[in-house]
Each structure stands twice: as C-alpha cells, then as structure tokens.
Structure 1
Amino acid sequence: MSFLIAIVSLLGTIAIFYTSKMFYKKYQNEWLTPILITPLVIIIILLLTGTSYKSYVAGTGILSNLLGPATVAFAVPIYRNFNLLKKHAFEIFLSIAVGSAVAITSSFTIAVVIGLNNELVHSLVPRSVTTPIAMDISNMIGGSPTLTAVFVMVTGILGSLIAPLVIKVCRFQRPSSRGLLLGMGAHGAGTSKAFEFGELEGTFASLAMIVAALISIVLSTTFFPAFEHLVVNILLP
C-alpha cells in the first residue's frame, strides 16, 4: 500500500505541476504560477485524503534530489554569455554582496525584534539563498534546515510574484537589472521567472543566485556572528 501511495504521489505531483503550467501559459496570471498553485493543490489533496507527509515524500523525494543538478544546470546560460557577465563583473558582485548583507541583517533583526526563538531566528537568516545551500548554512549557524527550506520556498514564491510589479513600477528596462533583482530577491523561483523575460535576464538571475549563495556562505561564518553579537549583547541586552 505504501508503495502505491509513493507512486501516486510522484506521478500526481508531476501531473499537477504540468497542468498548472498549462493554465499559467494560457492565462498569463502571476497568481497562477506553478510554484504557487502546485504546493497549494497538493496540500489540499493530502488534507482531504488524510495522507501523511511522510508517505507523500517517500515517493516524491526523487524530485527534491533533482534540485541540486537543476541548480548546477544554471551554469549553461552563464557560460554562453560569459563575456557579457565579465564586462559587468564589478557591478554584479557589488550589488549581490550588498543584497546578501541586507538579506541577512534584515532577516535577523526582524526575527529578533518580533521575539522569535533562537532556532527560528537562525533558520530564517539564510532565506534568500537557493535551498540546498540555505539548508547547509542553517545547519552551520544553529538553525533547522527543514524550517529554512520552508522560509526559502515562501521567499521565492513571494519574490517571484512581487518582483514583476517592482520591475514595472520602477521601469527597469535593462536585462541586467531585471535579472539581478529576480535572482537575488527570489533565487530559484526568481530565476525561473527571469527566463520568462528573456535569456539575458535569466542568465543574470542565475549568476545572481550562485554568487549570492557563495557570498552568503562567507558572510554567515564571518560577518553574521559579529553582527549577532552586536545586536544581542549590545543593542538589545
């Protein structure tokens, strides 16, 4: 029986994703994005059928394992446009470094101010990094990798929904601006959205996501401990 549930979970998840993708392409509504609709539909089905998450993930774990190779695959468009990226290397690195620092400090400060416990605080800090690396960072700084994965998913979904509005309101026309915004603000989900704008946007988003992950690893082991000490022991004794 458990084997049957696992097979149905895997095939059902794939079917739900491609169905939602079809509707998204047809109606072009941001709120119909598969990244949002697929998990909502799956949650509703699991609740209605009384299927446990443990039974569900037993069949769909293979999809999670594909996240790593999918992240590595972003290197392809980067390679194709390497000369363009090299030309803007300083601007890219500086903007992503600032974005990563802001993401870490704002997440930590807000979490502390609203009174979250220590585990939640440290789980929230790496929310602006792609899931596999965010979970590793969370484990390094004393958070819960599972909670971090949830925070990353929520950040990615909300970022991919809000970013197009920001781009429209701020009238960002350059592919680099659009791509870096989406890759830094919404990592994997944002990169997927960036490719809907164009290949260059997707390329810059891919680079932003990868560079942000690398910078965040460094900041989490150097800058963050010092910042945490400053806030907890000096500013908020």
Structure 2
Amino acid sequence: MFQHRLTFECFDNTTITVAQQAIMRVLDSLRYNGQILGREFPCYFHNGSFICQVVCPEQDSLNAQYASPQVKAALKQLSDACLLRPDIKYLGEELFSDSTENNLAQVSAYILYTSFIHSCSPLRSLERFLPVPLYRIPAVANGDQRQIIKWQEDWSACDQLQMNGFILENEAVEQLSTTGTRLFQRGWDLVRRIGYLTGKPTYLYLYRVGGHSLEEEKNRSCPVCGHSWRLEAPLHDLFEFRCDRCLLISNLSWDYKN
C-alpha cells in the first residue's frame, strides 16, 4: 500500500462546512471505488488549502483512468465549494500493511475474504492470497464497488464482536459461519457477480469455529451441496475446505487448529 497527500486549494472565499462536505464527497467516492482504503482520513487546513492524507492499494491508484462516475461527479462539484481539484503528492510506501496483487493476468480465481484487522481490499487472489484493487475489476453495481465495501464493513463488524466476546458474540458468529444468514447471502451474491464480470471463479470465505471433535470437523461436508470439499493440503495455511460447485472456501474449526 502507498501513502498520498491530497491538497485541495481554495480559489475563492468558502466556509469550513461547505468545503468539508465537498471534500468528503470526493473521499467517499474514492473509498467506494477501492482507490483509497480505510475509513478515517486525517485532514487539516493550512495556508489556504485543505490537506488530507490517504492510503492507496497502488502507487497509481488515484490516476484518472480508474475514476468511477461517482468520483468524476464529486471532483466536478468541488468548484461549487470554491475548491480546485486536488494536487496529489506521493509520500511513500506504507510499511505496516499488505502488499497488493500486481499480476492479475496470472490470477485464476479470487477469494472474498476479510477480518476486523484488515482495511485492505477484501478481494484476494487465489494463488498468492494478495489483495486485489477493486477498481481493477468491473464495477459490481451502479458504477462502483460500494456493495463490496459495505459487505466488508458488516463482516468486519461481526468479526470484531465475536473476537471481543462480550456483546452479541453468538449472533455475530452465526452471521459469519452460517449459510442461511443475510451476511452470507450478500457475500454469495457478490462472488457470483464478480465471477460473472471477471470470468474467473470467486470464492466466499465461510468462517468456522466450534464443532464436536477434530475428526468430525475434518470430515464435514459442504454446508450447501453436501458434497466432500476437504482439500488435500491447506491453502495459505488458512483454508482446509473448498467447494467448486458452491464457490465456498473455509477453514478447519479454529477450536481444532494447531
């Protein structure tokens, strides 16, 4: 990942409120297109300009060629707030974050996976398990990737609850690990949509915890089709199960992992 500084210069008198709203429209549209990552963007006012710092999947993530219709519209509306389009300055590579998949031509399939500690793209390559910038695949709906980002936010929120273990733990685990939940259905719809748009199989990660015994867990079948789905060897030291029929991928119950 890479850090950039965006400088929005005022060309006429404006107000903090008006400028803030215009800048947030730009940042939100970039985020929902996968061009910037995370949910918090430090911003401040200095010498007649509003300055924001963002993290991007790639060094060229903010190039105009990747802009969604929403990004283009938000940039155009900056003039209504007496702001120029942002000057973009590359600051350097982010040291404490995941690398990005930079060879999509060699990717045979994708995995939709996230957790409460990840702010990177939830779409990963099957071969190297590296995050795939969302703007590099066709938009899943309405011109951008908002539906993927919203699914990621909900999944991460449930994961945070179950990891904390104090409030709604059981309900959160059910959302993450059960095929009948709304969270699962949204993810399952997304992987099929991504697979259709990219022409590459896309698997949905199904979280697994609990179970009665290690032997029973090793031999569990796909929860959708009932077929055997255990892999001969773990994939990325994380996944032990994969169903090519149902586009699901899962782990051995965390209760029985070494």
TM-score range, shorter chain: under 0.3
More strand by share: 2
Q: Which has the larger radius of gyration?
A: 2
